[in-house]
A and B are shown apart, each in its own frame.
Chain A
Amino acid sequence: MKSWRDKAIQTILVGAASTSILIVLLIFFFLGREAFPFIWEPGFSNLFQARWIPVSFKEEVFGLLPLVTGSLLVTGLATVLMVPFGVFGAIYIAELATEKERSFLKPFIEILAGIPSVVIGFFGLVVLSPIIKNFFGLNTGLTALTGAILLALMAVPTVITVSEDAIQSVPKAFREASLALGANNLQTIFRIIVPAALPGMIAAIMLGVGRVIGETMAVLMVTGNAAKLTLDPFSSVRTMTATIAAEMGEVAFGSHHYQALFWVGIFLLIMTFFLNVIAQRVLRKYQMR
């Protein structure tokens, strides 16, 4: 027989656990609430123009296209950089490193994961961007590439940690069978272990990409913040996240500009939501957590 006390406690616990659902719903609701009036005035199709000129005496234009391409350019470059570092890092830590190296590398990666993005951005601003400027002979070091390098650095811990878990979850028998058949260590790693861990590694990269798209401070500080429609890595760009962070402080509450910024947030939320849900599905399906 259950006492009333046990029942009360269980109810409290269910309530607490359900707050997560409530928060997610509230996030969608309150973003939507602030963004919604834009649909009628000045009209939803305004968001699909090729220019973002939110402050103007003549005509304000709220085309998200330059911001989306800015985000995609930075994210794409960061992904290209993050994949080899993340995957090789995970293979090294899981398979090749000695016990001693591992006990140093793993905490180190965790420390990297903990460094605040504003500090990474600061480092990018004072150290990396002059290097980029001089190395490529540019007018400014504040480019999409600079941002991408920093973002790759920030996403690498996620990729390494999740990929390493995926590698560790490959059954021991696979390795033993391969070694017993005369394959050497490297053959076993690249022909047996990596293919078996591949779904987990792909999920790891997706989680990394999700982190990169949503990152704000580092890109705000080093990408130059010019809202142009370009795919040139040496050009200044403005990402979706940086736009919100930079402009929300100066905007009048309830204005069209304000609503457009909430739309940017909604698109960001939808993109990261799908990346995360798909990645977690993959991880759960292959039992890699």
Chain B
Amino acid sequence: MRSELQGKIIVWSIRATTYLIVGIVGYLLLDIIVKGIPTISWEFLSGFPRRSGAEGGIYPAIIGTVYLVLGAIIMAFPLGMASAIYLSEYAMQGRLNRYIRLAIITLAGVPSIVFGLFGLGLFVLFFGFGASILAGSLTLAFMILPTIIVSSEEALQAVPMGLREASLALGATKWQTVYKSVLPYALPGMFTGSILGIGRAAGETAPILLTVAAFFLPRLPKSIFDQVMALPYHLYVLATQHPDTEKVLPMQYGTALVLIFIVVFFNLTAIILRNHFRKKIQW
């Protein structure tokens, strides 16, 4: 009897701990949604900021984030896909393979601000791109590369061996096998990984802080060598650097809501797609 009560108490405290996390996150999301919605208007989304962000909209920051994310994914996706195909389909157990895996693990753990320093040292200064969309996108691309490689490789591994063997047995070359028999089934999973990467790139602040982001720039970029505003950095500036942070609180909530909306949208899409394909393709 006593131990049964004890057991119930233990289970309930574990449950409470878990739901406390849910509660805090739910509160965070609700707080930003409820206080952010009044700010959202057509003018806020499509207008240019005025008086260093105290009035007007966040259009340049949205566009800046879109450019940065597009640039990052254009570079990271092909590279990540090719890496994953090599690791999953071609690589033999060996030294090169081991070093590649070690490098991917290392990259995945590099703090985002260190990526920023690296981008500053290599792209901004050494290559002379200056603080620009190009430097920022390249930095973000390298940051999301491990995410894309790991989930793409998982997608490739999930394709049954039999498909490859059947294709090879019919006389197809290695590449024909990969291209015709493996990739079609693995592609949805690979896209899922990239969508997760997009979500991460859109929300990161530290790397773009040092490589691209403009404090206040109420115009659109003309080339990839221009600086841009970006949503996460704009939120940071409004919340901590603005001379009157209390007064621009509605603008902060509005920006946070737009940023959360973009990031959660991409993440949810990835999660739903992944679950969909896991269910659909039953081997």
**Chain A residues proximal to chain B, CB less than 8 Å:** 2-3, 5-6, 9-10, 12-14, 16-21, 23-24, 26-27, 30-31, 33-34, 84-85, 88-89, 91-93, 96-97, 105, 107-112, 114-123, 125-127, 153, 156, 184, 186, 207, 210, 213-217, 220-221, 241, 244-245, 248-249, 253, 261-262, 265, 268-269, 272-273, 275-277, 280
Q: Which residues on A sit within 8 Å (CB–CB) of B28?
A: 115, 120, 123, 127
* A88 CA / B11 CA spacing, docked (Å): 10
Q: Which residues on B sit within 8 Å (CB–CB) of A85?
A: 17, 20-21
Chain B CB within 10 Å, residue with most, of A33, A115, A220, A280: A115
Closest to B80 in A: A16
Of residues 1 to 35 in B, which have CB atoms within 8 Å of A's CB atoms? 7, 10-11, 13-15, 17-18, 20-22, 24-25, 28, 31-32
Closest to B232 in A: A118
* A6 CA / B90 CA spacing, docked (Å): 11
Q: Which residues on A sit within 8 Å (CB–CB) of B105?
A: 276-277, 280
B267 contacts A by Cβ under 8 Å: yes
Q: Which of B86, B110, B113 contacts A14 (CB 8 A)?
A: B86
Of residues 115 to 150 in B, which have CB atoms within 8 Å of A's CB atoms? 115-118, 120-122, 125-126, 142, 145-146, 149
B112 contacts A by Cβ under 8 Å: yes
B100 lies within 8 A of A111 (CB): no
A265 lies within 8 A of B259 (CB): no
Q: Which residues on B sit within 8 Å (CB–CB) of A120?
A: 28
For this complex, 24 residue pairs linking A to B, each with C-beta atoms less than 8 Å apart, are A6-B173, A16-B86, A19-B145, A27-B114, A88-B17, A91-B14, A111-B267, A115-B203, A115-B260, A116-B204, A117-B206, A120-B28, A122-B235, A127-B28, A127-B31, A156-B21, A214-B113, A244-B113, A245-B210, A248-B117, A253-B125, A268-B111, A277-B105, A280-B105
How distant is A30 from chain B, measured CB to nearest CB, in Å?
4
B90 lies within 8 A of A19 (CB): no
Closest to B111 in A: A214
Of residues 84 to 110 in B, which have CB atoms within 8 Å of A's CB atoms? 85-87, 90-91, 96, 99-100, 102-110
B260 lies within 8 A of A119 (CB): yes
* A213 CA / B109 CA spacing, docked (Å): 10
B163 contacts A by Cβ under 8 Å: no
B263 lies within 8 A of A108 (CB): no
* Supplied contacts A13-B90, A17-B82, A248-B210, 4 more A-B pairs, CB within 8 Å: A10-B174, A89-B18, A112-B25, A118-B235
B71 contacts A by Cβ under 8 Å: no
Q: Which residues on B sit within 8 Å (CB–CB) of A122?
A: 235-236, 239, 252, 256
Q: Which residues on A sit within 8 Å (CB–CB) of B39?
A: none
Of residues 49 to 91 in B, which have CB atoms within 8 Å of A's CB atoms? 78-79, 82-83, 85-87, 90-91
Q: Which of A24, A91, A184, A210 contacts B103 (CB 8 A)?
A: A24
B111 lies within 8 A of A125 (CB): no
B114 lies within 8 A of A214 (CB): yes
Q: Which residues on A sit within 8 Å (CB–CB) of B155?
A: none
B37 contacts A by Cβ under 8 Å: no
Q: Which residues on B sit within 8 Å (CB–CB) of A88?
A: 13-14, 17-18
Q: Which residues on B sit within 8 Å (CB–CB) of A207?
A: 109
A114 lies within 8 A of B263 (CB): yes
A17 lies within 8 A of B91 (CB): yes
B183 contacts A by Cβ under 8 Å: no
B205 lies within 8 A of A117 (CB): yes
B277 contacts A by Cβ under 8 Å: no
Closest to A86 in B: B21
How distant is A9 from chain B, measured CB to nearest CB, in Å?
5
B7 lies within 8 A of A214 (CB): no
B209 contacts A by Cβ under 8 Å: yes
